[in-house]
Amino acid sequence: MVVGVLGPRPPWLRAGAAGKHFPAAPFLPKKQVGGPKGFPLFLFPKPIFEEEDEMRQTSEAKKSLRGYYGEYGGRFVPEAIGNLLEELEGAFDAAMADRTFVAEMDRLLGEYVGRPSPITECANLSRELGGGRLFLKREDLNHTGAHKINNALGQALLAKRMGKTRLIAETGAGMHGTASATAAALMGMECTVYMGAVDVARQAPNVSRMKVLGAKVVAVEEGQATLKEAVDAALAAWIEDPEAFYLLGSVVGPSPYPEIVRTFQSVIGREARRQFLEREGRLPDEVAACVGGGSNAMGLFSGFLDDPEVLLTGVEPGGKGVEKGLGAHAATLCAGTRGVVHGFRTVVLSDASGEPAPVHSVAAGLDYPGVGPEHAHLRDTGRARYVSVTDDETLEAFGRLCRTEGIIPALESSHALAYALKRLPGMAPHQALLVNLSGRGDKDLDTVLSVNEAKAPAGEGGGVAGIQSRGLFYV
């Protein structure tokens, strides 16, 4: 058994506590509703206040408001869904206070997931680049191949504790869907996973894995048919079947989901901090992770929030280039504005009509028009910074890690690696950059090979043979 893997909830996530880096949120009403169509599956520029007298709460009441990170977060949902969320919040609090629940979660993380995941130094790549040292937190070595299993197991165990028998989940790249299907199989539950039709096509290996594990995969054809539409469909299914448990995969959505997912993913940061101290006798100078919704980044960042000497960097999908405007990227914190999406206030990419804008990324798990509310708060307070890298830079990083270190990264994680390739040469030799390798890239090989084929120089071919003859994956 791995003792203390889950650990206690940090003080800034406890009711009535602000925390060191999270001052008490400015006032927002406790009761909030969405637009006239019910659950806000699209943007609303302003919350609707149910009762004016709630705007007159005292300063003390404002300080105890839960579910906010600064001005972001909250619960913008109709009453029926609000009641379900209240039930979920109460069940989560009770579970986290129950030593038996925490011990069982620790056991599963150790015996089933294979935690702790190791830290690997990329000595070859560091030497090739010059400058600082690159380390990877190896979430790709978890059971199911990504960080998603940490949260999926936690929520599934919570669902079982609540007496639920059916899980509903959304997925982009298929890793959360696979993790949800895995947890459902382990817990003896039914599982339905909603996935954009575009992602079903480009992530076929994970679709097959979900089906083999017993899950029903529903291809969503609406809109762009990617992650945002999968979330829309999953939320709608939950509204239709409130007795099911919605297993949300990232630090997004109405409260308490950002807190729940962050709590279950915080094992990444706690392990990484302890492991780095044991290995190097000090903390890394910087930690970095890719950001779509932001669960893997928040998991890593959580371990270093109280270490101001450690720079926190989130890397967003710049796609074809942020400068090319909406539809060419999914760099929410780099180019978005404040709004409400999927029941919570955050930074969003929205069009002129206030609805979520089309987004693009070579990585199916990152093409989401919003971001976790805590990330938005960390940006605003300056505790973390957020940058973007392009699809081309991501593909270069993918190939370089494969060739140099013998590690095949997920395209999502390759965004953080692309940042590292640019960052390390400017660091001093004694400085260290720790990147969260959030998943493995088996699922992305068809995508990478097809992109290389399309970009291959005339006469060289772009298939496996052509790539081998040139000694590279698109660089």
CA-wise closest residue to 445 among 464, 422, 421: 464
Q: What is the pLDDT of residue 346?
A: 98
Q: Which of 76-85, 389-398, 399-408 has the lowest mean pLDDT?
A: 76-85
How does residue 452 score in pLDDT terms, banded at 50, 70 and 90?
Answer: confident
Q: What is the pLDDT of residue 22?
A: 30
Catalytic hit among 122, 191, 290, 334: 122
Catalytic hit among 21, 143, 147, 402: 147
Architecture in CATH of 119-145+265-470: 3-Layer(aba) Sandwich (3.40)
Q: What is the pLDDT of residue 453?
A: 77
H-helix or E-strand containing 434? strand 432-437
Q: What is the pLDDT of residue 70?
A: 96
Q: What per-residue string of b and e applies to 430-455 under the rule 16 or more CB within 10 Å gives b?
A: eebbbbbbbbbbebbeebbbebbeee
* Domain locations along the chain: 119-145+265-470
Q: Which of 132-136, 273-277, 317-321, 449-453 has the lowest mean pLDDT?
A: 449-453
Q: What is the pLDDT of residue 307?
A: 98
- The full length of the chain comes to 475
Whether the pLDDT of residue 270 is over 50: the answer is: yes
Q: What is the pLDDT of residue 227?
A: 84
Specify burial of residue 240 (Cβ count, 10 A radius: 0-12, 13-18, 19+). Answer: exposed
Whole-angstrom Cα distance, residue 5 to residue 101? 12
> Measured in whole angstroms, how far is the alpha carbon of residue 403 from the centre of its chain?
27
Instruction: Identify which of 32-46, 51-65, 456-470 has the greatest average pLDDT.
Output: 456-470
Query: pTM of the predicted model, to two decimals?
Result: 0.85
The residues near 274 (Cβ < 8 Å, ≥ 6 apart) are none
Is residue 217 within 8 Å of 211, Cβ to Cβ? yes
334 flagged as catalytic: no
Give CA separation, 145 vs 38, 118, 177, 269, in Å: 37, 13, 12, 18
**Mean pLDDT across the stretch 393-407?**
98
Kindly give the residue spans of alpha helices, DSSP state H, lying in 348-442: 373-381, 391-405, 411-423
Q: What is the pLDDT of residue 52?
A: 29
**Mean pLDDT across the stretch 238-264?**
96
Average predicted confidence (pLDDT) for the chain: 85
122 flagged as catalytic: yes
For 188-230, write each residue's pLDDT tens digit. 999 999 999 999 998 899 999 999 999 999 999 998 898 889 9
